[in-house]
Amino acid sequence: MDQTCLCIAVRKASRRMTTVYDDALAPVGINLAQYSLLKKIRRMAPVSLTDLGAAMDLDRSTIGRNVKVLDRMGLTQAITGKDHREATVELSETGQGVLTTAIPLWERAQEQINTRLGADKVAQLEQLLAEL
């Protein structure tokens, strides 16, 4: 008997669900990870990479690299503060526009999942995941 591995199940679900959101966001040229990062930056801006990492539960270096991509896309910009160690970032105007456009697309993906699973099960799932 093959014991199911919760971790593998979660990873698989993660991949699949990410694809749904990525597809939904494709028209604006960003993926879910970038969307998530943009939203966080908007909320926290101006924010250091370290703080972003802590808030998103991601390694600082990961944030650094991902922000670099957003920078290259012109969606974010660095701000120079007093502490010359910090790389503080905020959304560019383009970034704000993209995020605004992206939100309804993201909501559509949310609805897609809600429809497929049912709102109560989604809530249940969120609850369980939060306990991990």
Answer with the entry of DNA, its own copies, none that 50 interacts with (C-beta below 5 to 8 A by kind). DNA
For the segment 9-68, give every residue that binds DNA (CB under 7 A).
11, 15, 19, 31, 33-34, 48-51, 57-62, 64-66
CB of 12 vs DNA, minimal distance in Å? 8
The verdict on 76 binding DNA (CB under 7 A) reads no
Among 65, 68, 108, 121, binds its own copies (CB under 8 A): 121
Per CB under 8 A, the list member of 28, 34, 91, 106 interacting with its own copies is 106
> How far is it, in rounded angstroms, from Cα 129 to Cα 50?
24
Q: Which residues contact 20 (CB under 8 A, 6 or more apart)?
A: 109, 112, 113
Q: Is residue 116 at the binding interface for its own copies, with CB under 8 A as the rule?
A: yes
Residues 17-24: contacts with CB under 8 Å, at least 24 apart = 17/113, 20/109, 20/112, 20/113, 21/106, 21/109, 23/109, 24/105, 24/106, 24/108, 24/109, 24/112
Using alpha carbons only, how large is the chain's radius of gyration in Å? 17
Nearer to DNA, 1 or 84 (CB): 84
- What does the binding site for DNA look like in residue numbers (CB under 7 A)? 11, 15, 19, 31, 33-34, 48-51, 57-62, 64-66, 69, 72, 82-88
